[in-house]
Amino acid sequence: MAITLGGLNTLSFAPSLHGGWLELAIFAGTFWVISHAPTLRAALLAGGIFGFGQFVSGIWWLYVSMHFYGHMPALIAGAAVILFSLYLALYPALSVGLWHVCCAPFGQRTMFPSWHASMAFACAWALGEWLRGTIFTGFPWLVSGYAQVDGPLAGFAPLIGVYGVSWVLALVGALIIQTVMNVSTERGVVAWLMPASVVVGLIVSGILLSRVTWTQPSGPALSVRLLQGNIKQSIKFDQIGIRHALATYQRLITEKPADLVVTPETAIPLPLYETPTEFRTTVQSFVDATHTSVLFGAVGVTITKNGGENFTNALYGITPESSILYRYDKHHLVPFGEFIPWGFQWFVDIMRMPLGNFARGRAIQPPFIVRGQSIAPSICYEDTFGEEIAYMLRSQLYPATMLINSTNLGWFGNTIALDHYLQIARMRSLETGRPMLHATNTGVTAIIDSDGLVKAQLHRFTVGALDVNIQGRSGMTPYILTGNITVLIISIVGLAIGRGIERHTCPSRYIRIGTNIYLSVSNF
């Protein structure tokens, strides 16, 4: 059953049509399953099986990247997805194991859900997801809170971020089972009414909080054009692809003026000094003549102390009548795609990735200023790390009023990865109370408003430009100010309290209420 629940949980994420409600039922079912794990080993296995079911069904698109575009043999690519899913499954197994240790340290039994068991489950689950998004540079894909972007718990995002939403979600699921079990054992109205009331209260609070405005309009609205060149990944780094990209983006950039024009990540897959003179002069002349600012993706080059070159994944900004180029270098790099973890050079050689070893940009970099609006860029994978964006905003003297994510998802074809990535970008808008300009090579290119709603988007795998007026916003959400520290403190303290409560429970006092089901007297 655990693997089925894990697989079904993938359906909670985009492009789902049920607004996050399915996920509430799945987490209730998951808590039911682990509550019937009589030993720590059984609990670990249940958590791991759930995780494997979710990840193997939710990150299969990596096979497309490795096999169709990385030219890895199909068998090896498939095995890599399975092995990676097994690794990721360790984290939900860890969460369930932590929960079991805190709530059932006295040997074999099936646990009756209690208040501290429900709270400990929420704490353990959020902590496990945070660890998955942190260890080995992190892989926070399919974090449970993302599925609530259109769900009833979305309103908690500006307060405690995506991991906090996961915490609330897990608590709601556990309390649903606590309510059902209390009803089924006829423990009295109060016993089931209290957890049921908390469930309703959390859901209503999430819905009401989503109507709270945490930021306010700042400065004039900008006319923005997001460009989608639809350069095929199979030719992107070949000479024919480079020539096609230069011609396409030169045409799209100079086609129509706007306050800001944005291209996808590595729209120009060359170091800036290798771009043709015609491209540079044509774009600069257009910028000066129309007072348009342009932010475009290219390969950055930094000269080292010994005269060598370090390549970066960069965004360059051009503003009217200015000889100074703005530059943003990607800080949070993708393992294997942009840097080679120690001992894995053989993997990159199989993948035949060009420019697979970028240098890292600084954690805090200046914003790009356009007509009084301060814009914070990020590139591709960086958008999945909400804490880093929050840290950047609270570290700036004048926090950015807009977010930009420039990315190339052509590596993943027409798969659910594109929907998931747009959902992640929407969560960043919810957390920060700021609009997100989401420029991609093949889709989904979109403008996301400060409330996390998609204002406009382009069709996938088409060439075009998305023209929208967007309003910058100032102000600090609670999440910007505290980042993930709030949910981490709650989770660690909650687990410690759960462990302390259970240590004072007498292990020998159980009442049998059915086949293999025992209740501790402390639950009454």
In tens, the pLDDT along 385-441 reads: 999 999 999 999 899 999 999 999 999 999 999 999 999 999 999 999 999 999 999
Q: How is residue 64 written in tokens?
A: 């497309």
**Residues designated catalytic:** 265, 330, 380
Confidence class for position 443, pLDDT limits 50, 70, 90: confident
Tell me the pLDDT tens digit for each residue of 283-342: 999 999 999 999 999 999 988 778 788 899 999 999 997 778 999 999 998 887 777 777
Q: 407 burial class (0-12, 13-18, 19+ CB within 10 angstroms)? A: buried
336: left (phi over 0), alpha (psi -120 to 50) or beta: left
- This prediction has a pTM of 0.92
Tell me the pLDDT tens digit for each residue of 244-297: 999 999 999 999 999 999 999 999 999 988 999 999 999 999 999 999 999 999
318 & 466 share domain: yes
Q: Could you give the dihedral angle defined by the CA atoms of residues 25, 454, 417 and 245, in that order, rounded to the nearest 10 degrees?
A: 180
Domain total in the chain: 2
Residue 347: its pLDDT value, please?
63
463 & 490 share domain: no
Distance, in Å, from the CA atom of 462 to the CA atom of 229, rounded to the nearest integer, reads: 7
508 & 411 share domain: no
472 & 486 share domain: no
269 & 246 share domain: yes
The CATH number given to whatever domain includes residue 273 is 3.60.110.10
Judged against a pLDDT cut of 90, whether residue 108 lies above it is answered with no
Q: Crossing angle of helices 21-35/2-10, nearest 10°?
A: 160
310 & 443 share domain: yes
3-state DSSP assignment of residue 353: coil
20 & 88 share domain: yes
Q: Look up the domain containing 176 and give its range.
A: 2-213+480-523
221 & 185 share domain: no
138 & 259 share domain: no
Q: Mean pLDDT score of the chain, rounded to an integer? A: 89
313 & 441 share domain: yes
391 & 362 share domain: yes
Residue 107: its pLDDT value, please?
42
196 & 121 share domain: yes
Beta bridge partners of 466: 226
Q: Please tell me what DSSP assigns to residue 225.
A: E
Q: Where are the alpha helices (DSSP H) in 234-385?
A: 239-253, 277-290, 345-351
